[in-house]
Structure 1
Amino acid sequence: MSLRFTKMHGLGNDFVVVDARTTPFALDAPAIRWLGDRHFGIGFDQLLTIERARDPSCSFAYGIWNSDGSSAGQCGNGVRCVAAWLARAGALGAGMTRLESPSGAVAVELLGDDSVRVDMGEPRFAPAAIPFAADAESDAYAIDVVGREVEIGAVSMGNPHALVEVDDVAAAPVAVLGPQIEYAPAFPQRCNVGFAEVVSRGAIRLRVWERGVGETLACGSGACAAVAVLRRRAKVDAEVRVALPGGELELRWDGPGHPVWMRGPAAFVFDGEIAGRATGAIAPEATRKP
């Protein structure tokens, strides 16, 4: 067998996009891990599948797999790439369109400057919705992380997020504290971990340790989660520019009862095909096509 794909990225958060609208995607977790390997496979943070919608209110659906083979519920940079891919394929036009994510419908809009605006849904702070182990909802929680207490914010943007405020995001211990919080007992499904430095009421700097991936150059749902937690703490305004290692996103959240709107780019890198053996196992041969 062979697998045709498109390599894309949103601010350096990179994806392999697979068209599964007519042929269902059937690779298992070991094959996805191999494809995600940056030395022996294609390399990506997440693999995205574009599928037929099951929700009649949506035009298409998409699936999300992390580079470790696990599935994910939402990906802000990924949905922008899905929208751009569909537009290039002639399947998506101007105006607002609904797409079906693994965690529910989202609205996307293609803009004239090659950016995409996405309705990422309303943040969910109730512990059971995240899910997060807490007796009551709060703006901040002290959790045990490998025997020491760490203060976090917790929210779901279709996937679970923890947020740690720091004075200097460049010096934040992302590689150490990120995986420790990801696997903290308080998060039964693990979590994405953001480290945020508030620059002003309209700007923050952010680094994100993504569940099942590690630190990435950008995380759209992580940017939404950071703005939601910080706005709830009255530290930022409704419109916030989020600076990530890979670039900037524009976020707007008008508060409870409203969705978070995210605006950012989606870039094509190359189209390719990776060959497989008759057994269906993916083989380490790939060709790049301009």
Structure 2
Amino acid sequence: MPGPADRTRAAAHWTAERRAAALAASPATASAVASSAVASPQSTGDGSPASSPVPHPDQPFVGVLFYVDGGRDRACTASVVSTPDGDAIATAAHCLVDRRTHAASTLATFVPGAQGATAPHDIWPVRISAVSAAWTATGRASDDAGFARVSGPAGEVLGAEVGAAEPVFGSTLVPVTGPAPRLAILGYPAAGSATAALEACAGRPQHDTGGQTSLPCALGTGAAGSPVVTAAGEQRAVVARPSAGRGVLLATWGADAERALASLHGR
């Protein structure tokens, strides 16, 4: 289990300058038009307009997850979720594990309430993670759910410091009849910006042409792992694949995601 030495190593690597560079870097999955998707409305797969994100008041339970992939500094969005241990975060599985090698991301570190490269609530290195077994097997966006426990300053509990969303598993995001519930995404979508700030985008989920669940929001690749929440503060999914031009694909939380989070308890 990582200890003080690992925290020191993460802090030594993730200086403010490195965090700024990771935010400004083009992620491995970025498309050439990711930044334009943030700037203006696009179309979803069914031709309806995709909403652009807007600045959102600070929500410290949402932050940036920095990690090293293939020797390059990267960044996703992650959120604190309520658990008995008080130190769990949720994000996309691909931000925590390389599916090709099954190796955990190197130096994965959560910065809650990040404001650009600043860390107003300190840095919290990942010490153990778990991802959806279905995602490991299939790589489908709908299964791209990951969770981790983090360690912070001595004596501090993450959830007590910044708050947490209540995780809800097995909910139907797109009902067979009637309108889908309105959901919001909170994240850091501005890939390519060293001054990335928290933004929000809301809409009603729908099934795309491939049968996966999407939300009509135009978000850049920095939004991968962003929490999908209800007005009541319940988190029901994460952003799996920000797709410039047609909204985003969601990793819906079912029994497999619930097992992944439960597997971290007490470890």
* TM-score normalized by the length of structure 1: 0.31
Bigger radius of gyration, 1 or 2?
1
Instruction: Name whichever structure is richer in strand by fraction.
Output: 1
* TM-score, normalised by the number of residues in structure 2: 0.33
